[in-house]
Structure 1
Amino acid sequence: MFKNARFFRLDQPFEFTALELEAALGTRRFRPCGPIETATLGWTAPLGEDAQALVQAVSGCYLICARRQERLLPAAAITEALDERIAELEAGEARDVGRAERRRLREQIINEMLPRAFTRSRRTQLYLDTESGWLVVDAASEKQAEDVVSLLRETLGSLPVKLPDPLHPVANLLTAWLLEDCAPPDFVAADACELREIGEQAGVVRCSRHNLACEEILNHLRAGKQVTKLALVWDERLSFTLADDLSLKRVRVNDALLEQLDGDELDPAQRLDAEFALLALQMRELLTRFDALFGLTDASADAVIPRARHDRI
């Protein structure tokens, strides 16, 4: 289901039930771009455009989905049309076009081109784990995650979340895992990493399909580079690339776990529930391991996040 994962810690208990969350998301349901809108962002059904339910509730987790649509206006096309318009004015009126007029012409051209522009949509799935107190977003970039978190905050009126602030820097531990061969037994390094020097003029080495225990990699680490991304396999359950900001990319569930879902007896909604439950459980346990390794929470923070009320829609 999720190819990426960016984690946000809930500062307060999430008090919405699934029905209350469904009603709130319905006030910001996705709609297509209007004729002169450059982009729209709203909530859509996780099961697909033909479904209606905006929330899939399983095992204390609420799966939701944001959809962004934008009109594609290539900058080169706008610039070309603007240059042509300016050339016509300067030739016809024998005068130079000033900066302020140039800006007005550019806005006019964009408004003329927008209704005819193609549109492109992107879906971003995310879920709230109300039992463990985490928000998990399937976003490849920080901005994409921030956009949907901001939408959720605006929709609910308030959403106190923050990025994890590890007590033990992730890059330091990942570097030690490779340099000293001291990774915990449930984490196995795969064949890809990113090594980065410290400083403003930082050099970067990216390796893929490479033996990370070889002398070439170790020499880079001995010279002072740090591991800022590392491909890992966790407990033979999940594989992913872990970055030093604790984001995950290339997330993949182990085939043996997926085989539990094989069969034609599940309808699409049931299969989504099963896949989501499987993923959310693995992520919940993985975050518990991250907490133990990197120090993501403290006892006082955990104490203020009791279980929220749950119901199923």
Structure 2
Amino acid sequence: MFKNARFFRLDTPFALDAAELEARLGERRFRPCGPIETATLGWSSPLGEETAGLVHGVGGCLLMCARKQERLLPSAAVAEAVDERVSELESGEARDVGRAERRRLREQIVTEMLPRAFTRSRRTQLYIDTEAGWMVVDAASEKQAEEVVSLLRETLETLPAKLPDPNKTPSTVMTSWLLDGTAPPDFVAGDACELRDSDDSAGVVRCSGQDLASDEMLNHIRAGKRVTKLALEWDERLSFVLAEDLSLKRLRVGDALLEEMDDTDLEPAARLDAEFAILALQMRQLIERLDEVFGLLSTD
């Protein structure tokens, strides 16, 4: 279900059950963009638009989905329309159009064009593990994750959640795993990584389909580069790319865990339910393991 994962630690136990959370989210249910709105953001069903529920609970985990709809209004099209309108005014009235008037014309044209603009929607799934005290967001970027967390915080009026603050620097640990071969046995390096110069973020080496233990790769590290992203397989259960901010990308559940579902004829909603149950359990155990390795919350 999740392609990415960004973790947020809850400072206090999550007090709402599924029914109470459902009621809160219902106050900010998603609605499409109005004629002159550039974007809307709200809550939709995590199991698909054919179902009405806004919260799906499995094993102490509460699954939600934020949906954002945006009107697509290319800046080039707006600029061209503004230039045409300015040209008409200047030639028809034999005068120059000033900066302030040009700005007003742009606002007017945007208002005229918005109702005819196409829309695009993006769904972002997230869940709260009420037993482990973590929130997991399927967001590819920090901006996307913060937008959804902010929506949940506004919806609930409070949400004491924060990003991990590890005791050990992830890039230092991952660099040691490759250079010194010190990775724990349950973390197996894949064939992709990103290396950056310690004193120059512009110096980047990205590789895929490579033997990370080869001299060619290790020489980059010996020359001073550090590992900022590393493809890993954890205990044959999950594979992912771990970044230095402890976010996960290219997240995938191991084939062995999904084999049972492949042998059954499940409806789409039932399959999503089963996939989420498997994912949430594995993620709970992975976060515990990452906490052991990195110390996800500093105890200064």
Same fold per superposition (TM over 0.5): yes
Tell me: CA distance 1:219–1:65, structure 2 relative to 1, closer, same or farther (3 Å).
Answer: same
1:129: which partner in 2? 129
1:209: which partner in 2? 209
Mapped pair 1:286 → 2:289:
no
8 Å CA contact 2:165–2:298 kept in 1: the answer is no
The separation in 1 between residues aligned to 2:200 and 2:262, in whole angstroms, is 50
Q: How does 1:44-193 map to 2 (within 5 A)?
A: 44-193=44-193
What letter corresponds to residue 176 of structure 2 in structure 1?
Answer: A
Mapped pair 1:24 → 2:18:
no
Q: How does 1:268-283 map to 2 (within 5 A)?
A: 268-283=268-283
Highest RCO, 1 vs 2 (Cα 8 Å, sep ≥ 6) = 1
Deviation at 1:99, TM superposition (A): 1.2
What letter corresponds to residue 249 of structure 2 in structure 1?
Answer: K
- Provide the secondary structure at the position in 2 that maps to 1:227: strand
What letter corresponds to residue 192 of structure 2 in structure 1?
Answer: A
272-281 or 200-209, which deviates more: 200-209
Mapped pair 1:241 → 2:247:
no
The separation in 1 between residues aligned to 2:209 and 2:265, in whole angstroms, is 38
What letter corresponds to residue 203 of structure 2 in structure 1?
Answer: G
The separation in 2 between residues aligned to 1:5 and 1:178, in whole angstroms, is 23
The separation in 1 between residues aligned to 2:201 and 2:139, in whole angstroms, is 28
The separation in 2 between residues aligned to 1:202 and 1:272, in whole angstroms, is 41
The separation in 1 between residues aligned to 2:7 and 2:299, in whole angstroms, is 19
1:198: which partner in 2? 198
Deviation at 1:296, TM superposition (A): 1.1
2:40: which partner in 1? 40
Provide, for residues 159-216 of structure 1, a one-character-per-residue CA deviation record: whole Å limited to 9, x for no partner: 0110101100000000000001111000000000000012355300000111111111
8 Å CA contact 2:231–2:240 kept in 1: the answer is yes
268-277 or 112-121, which deviates more: 268-277
What letter corresponds to residue 171 of structure 1 in structure 2?
Answer: S
Deviation at 1:286, TM superposition (A): 0.4
- Provide the secondary structure at the position in 1 that maps to 2:252: strand
- Provide the secondary structure at the position in 1 that maps to 2:8: strand
Deviation at 1:91, TM superposition (A): 1.1
What letter corresponds to residue 16 of structure 2 in structure 1?
Answer: F
8 Å CA contact 2:4–2:249 kept in 1: the answer is yes
The separation in 2 between residues aligned to 1:42 and 1:199, in whole angstroms, is 42
What letter corresponds to residue 251 of structure 1 in structure 2?
Answer: L
1:266: which partner in 2? 266
> RMSD in angstroms over aligned alpha carbons?
1.3
The separation in 2 between residues aligned to 1:264 and 1:290, in whole angstroms, is 33
The separation in 2 between residues aligned to 1:84 and 1:31, in whole angstroms, is 34
Deviation at 1:299, TM superposition (A): 8.0
What letter corresponds to residue 278 of structure 2 in structure 1?
Answer: L
Segments of structure 1 that go 5 or more residues without pairing to the other structure are 301-313
The separation in 2 between residues aligned to 1:299 and 1:17, in whole angstroms, is 29
The separation in 2 between residues aligned to 1:188 and 1:79, in whole angstroms, is 51
256-265 or 42-51, which deviates more: 256-265
Deviation at 1:263, TM superposition (A): 3.7
Number of residue equivalences = 300
Deviation at 1:266, TM superposition (A): 3.4
Q: Percent identity?
A: 72
TM-score by length of 1: 0.93
Segments of structure 2 that go 5 or more residues without pairing to the other structure are none
Deviation at 1:103, TM superposition (A): 1.0
- Provide the secondary structure at the position in 2 that maps to 1:104: helix
Deviation at 1:298, TM superposition (A): 6.5
119-128 or 193-202, which deviates more: 193-202
Tell me: CA distance 1:201–1:65, structure 2 relative to 1, closer, same or farther (3 Å).
Answer: closer
1:307: which partner in 2? none
Tell me: CA distance 1:81–1:95, structure 2 relative to 1, closer, same or farther (3 Å).
Answer: same
- Provide the secondary structure at the position in 2 that maps to 1:152: helix
